[in-house]
Structure 1
Amino acid sequence: MKIIVSADIGNSETKMITRYDGVEGSECFHQPSVIRKLIKSPQIAETNLKKNVINLDENLIAHITSSALNRHSDGLYVIGKKAMQTDLNKVQNMNIKLGNKHKHDIPVIMILAMIARTVVKDEFELNGALESSYQIDCDFVSAIPASEFTFEKAKEFEKRLTKGDHTVVIHLGDKKVMVGINFKKAKITQEGIPAIFAMVYDNEENDDRKVSLLDKFNEVYDEEMEPNDLLKMKIFHVDIGDGTTEYIYTNGVNPVIDACDGERRGVGHATEDAVIMLNEMLQGSFKSSRQSFMEIIKDKTHNLHSEAFNALEAAKGTQANEILEDTFEKIQNKAGNSVDLITVYGGGSIQFREHLEESLRDYAETINSKLLWVPEELAVNLNVRGLDILNRTVFSKNKK
């Protein structure tokens, strides 16, 4: 069995697209990038296999043994949504201040657990039952931040996956299913670059979309631009994430490597500041991970929603000013103001839109450029869709 996997390993969420070699169709799904290590197996609350498979995304528990993990990191974990439900003081997420994502164990644990989850769910859907073990080959592609990216770091991450064995045991009540994963190929590129491929292939790759990439842009500027027109443009990308914001300069789909950069800005930094503010407001009685805090923001019925929202808005203002200053400085000094289009996307583009859009549109006008703010419906998955396109059309064919 061979699976083709593209993963956007965000500090907030890990987004993944999976395909089977020679089979039409794909699945795009995500999990919060949080884990919690267990010292013993949890109590079995449900023994119905079908229910456990259906609810696997909410109850992802996996024992992971991998040569890619650091010493003493093998073990039993609850992953993603399940990890956020209890014992918040024991939850691990990526330290957005330290960087070096290519060295972390959390991305590897997320990748392995999510691949194994896909195999289990798909096999049960296909056969209505599960074997005790499966072995799969995997072609894998992902990316690390531009602020950290070097070819040496990319190779180091690739070797972590391809050099050894990886075994994941998925817990489904009283049944355990082992999935052996062999990374036949692994390619790590630079965050921000894959998005241009998702933009250029917008019409072909998103037939199920309710909104097109350029609809609003063409309305604002009274144009009839098509995605293929991006191939002829010099584009400055502002990819706002949780822990980093990537500033990528491309000529068509080709990155101008020396002009690509990143900074530790984003929603996660604003969230961490907001958590501190709310904790002070509640006299030290508030504890939360970044991901759990954002769940409060999403839940308007939560008793702390109003306080959390106000704290986050205050913290976002500071981050927005820093992103604006970065953008102005890098367009001037890295791109020499030779920019046809400034485009903004990523999960953070949704949170920061009201803080940034007007200022960036005005700035674009001053340098005789235009602003493409990627629609919310496309912004979050733009990178993982671009990685999927690269995986199928370039990396899987042994092309550079």
Structure 2
Amino acid sequence: MNTKVETDIGKLTTKTNMKVAADIGNSTTKMIVEDELFSQPSVIRRLMKNPQVTETDLKKNVTNLDENLTVHITSAAIKGTANGLYVIGRKAITTDLDKVQNMNIKLGNKHKHDLPVIMILSMIARKIIKDEFDEKGELAESYSATCELSSAIPASEFSFEKAEILEKRFAAHKHTVIVHLGEKLVTVVLNFKKAKVTQEGVPAIFALLSEDETILEEFNNLYKKKDEEDLIQDNEEITKPIDLKKMKIFHVDIGDGTTEYIYTNGVNPILDACSGEKRGVGHATEEATVLLNENLNGLMKINRQSFMSIVADNTHNLHAEAKDALDIAKGSQANFILEDTIEKVSNKTGNNVDIVVVYGGGSIQFRKYLFDDLKEFADQIKTKLLWIPEKNAVDLNVRGLDILNRKVFFRKKR
């Protein structure tokens, strides 16, 4: 339960025990705080001077905060030269695409980057400001909050030592975020009572177990039809997601910069059999950008951000060429993911798998390139394929972190 203490000293409002679940994806940062799920593109842009004030109405500025999140960050958790003024997420990608900073999907080392820290601090400050204004219709000059934070880093780079580095970046320091709301500046000071970092993919099993039966509809229809055609009776039908708790599961969590291959016995990860590879939508986009630039014979240089804007704009004169290049690159990445899965199921699990479960934002993008081949592989090794529906696939990790916050990581001891 969140508690709030107000004092008259400097109009300071303090919030305690804010449980924060943060999924720091290469494409999108998703966060759950007090049952609210919200997100921002994982991009930032540094500003050298204060932005020009175009709107002075405080209510409008708070209402539109997600589209105009502008903050000044001061924190020992980031490099000294990185302290400063930023526009965050959606605001960062509306102008000057060549100046935005995003995660380098080829280098990895998410636990060392400043961008995830800046994203998380900014989004927590956003949550505090919107909640306070919604409740009171006004804002104090400053706020202080004590948080309990959980997050995750890719299995391809995970170790307990690296997880501890990221945990300490939050827990060992105070962090000051000044949010720009037109002419009004609001200071938010954040303290992290606890921080817990696990490996991506692991939290998703907890979210899967808590989903309703609709995530199994396509799966059960697919295998019921197959059993009828083959005159085979299924000896272990999955009727509810909680049934997965009894199974050995090979997870394929397809993201933007990495694909996580997680092996669990129920909710327990078999750490030696968990790994990750630099596969995903971001890599397909980079490959496609190279292809498009080659097709243009160097007449213009297109970067990853501008490439995606061309793909999204079906009136752009290069839209068809960009889509074709992306189709080719997605097919290539899907083939890599298929090969990874076959190799890891064989070598990491000894083919001792009850079910292969596919999810993540990339599962939506790659389904048409990957589903049939992965289904054929599952049939060959006498297991099954559960492809999580689009409406559930993207948020499993952040929802799993939120469940872990309440039931495991920060549960109050009786």
Runs of 5+ in structure 1 lacking a partner?
A: 20-25, 204-210
Instruction: Please point out which of 129, 134, 148 is paired with 1:139.
Output: 148
**1:215 corresponds to which letter in structure 2?**
E
Instruction: State the distance in 2 between where 1:126 and 1:260 align.
Output: 44
Instruction: State the distance in 1 between where 2:129 and 2:171 align.
Output: 22
Instruction: Please point out which of 225, 245, 257 is paired with 2:239.
Output: 225
Q: How far apart are residue 288 of structure 1 and its match?
A: 3.3
Deviation per CA, 1:63-103: give whole Å up to 9, x if none. Answer: 00011101211000011111111112211111011110000
Decide whether aligned partners of structure 1 residues 103 and 286 sit closer, same or farther in structure 2, where only a CA change above 3 A counts: same
Instruction: State the distance in 1 between where 2:144 and 2:299 align.
Output: 49
SS at match of 1:171: strand
Which residue pairs with 2:308 in the alignment?
294
**1:35 corresponds to which letter in structure 2?**
I
Instruction: Please point out which of 168, 193, 216 is paired with 1:214.
Output: 216
Which residue pairs with 1:307 in the alignment?
321
Q: How far apart are residue 306 of structure 1 and its match?
A: 2.1
Work out whether 1:357 is the aligned partner of 2:366. no
Which residue pairs with 1:79 in the alignment?
88
Which residue pairs with 2:333 in the alignment?
319
Q: How far apart are residue 184 of structure 1 and its match?
A: 0.6
Q: How far apart are residue 216 of structure 1 and its match?
A: 1.0
Instruction: State the distance in 2 between where 1:296 and 1:363 align.
Output: 35
Which residue pairs with 2:33 in the alignment?
18
RMSD between aligned alpha carbons?
A: 1.4
Instruction: State the distance in 2 between where 1:195 and 1:302 align.
Output: 38
Give me the identity figure in percent: 64
Q: How far apart are residue 286 of structure 1 and its match?
A: 4.2
Which residue pairs with 1:208 in the alignment?
none
**1:348 corresponds to which letter in structure 2?**
G
SS at match of 2:92: helix
Work out whether 1:8 is the aligned partner of 2:23. yes
Work out whether 1:127 is the aligned partner of 2:141. no
Instruction: Please point out which of 365, 390, 405 is paired with 1:376.
Output: 390
Instruction: State the distance in 2 between where 1:183 and 1:15 align.
Output: 18
**2:24 corresponds to which letter in structure 1?**
I
Q: How far apart are residue 303 of structure 1 and its match?
A: 4.2
Which residue pairs with 1:49 in the alignment?
58
Deviation per CA, 1:310-330: give whole Å up to 9, x if none. Answer: 111111111111111100000
Which of 40-49 and 222-231 deviates more? 222-231
Instruction: State the distance in 1 between where 2:190 and 2:394 align.
Output: 28
Instruction: Look at both structures and tell me which one has the larger radius of gyration over its CA atoms.
Output: 2
SS at match of 2:370: helix
Q: How far apart are residue 273 of structure 1 and its match?
A: 1.2
Q: TM-score, normalised by structure 2?
A: 0.90
SS at match of 2:82: coil
**1:376 corresponds to which letter in structure 2?**
E
Instruction: State the distance in 2 between where 1:47 and 1:344 align.
Output: 47
Which residue pairs with 1:386 in the alignment?
400
Please say if residues 88 and 289 of structure 1, whose CA atoms lie closer than 8 Å, have aligned partners that are also in contact: no
Instruction: State the distance in 1 between where 2:303 and 2:67 align.
Output: 19
Decide whether aligned partners of structure 1 residues 65 and 232 sit closer, same or farther in structure 2, where only a CA change above 3 A counts: same
Deviation per CA, 1:20-54: give whole Å up to 9, x if none. Answer: xxxxxx11111110111111011111111111111
Instruction: State the distance in 2 between where 1:263 and 1:50 align.
Output: 45
Please say if residues 274 and 311 of structure 1, whose CA atoms lie closer than 8 Å, have aligned partners that are also in contact: yes
Instruction: State the distance in 2 between where 1:94 and 1:253 align.
Output: 30
Runs of 5+ in structure 2 lacking a partner?
A: 1-14, 225-236
Instruction: State the distance in 1 between where 2:198 and 2:116 align.
Output: 15
Decide whether aligned partners of structure 1 residues 296 and 31 sit closer, same or farther in structure 2, where only a CA change above 3 A counts: farther
**Runs (4+) of structure 1 moved beyond 6 Å?**
none
Instruction: State the distance in 2 between where 1:382 and 1:295 align.
Output: 27
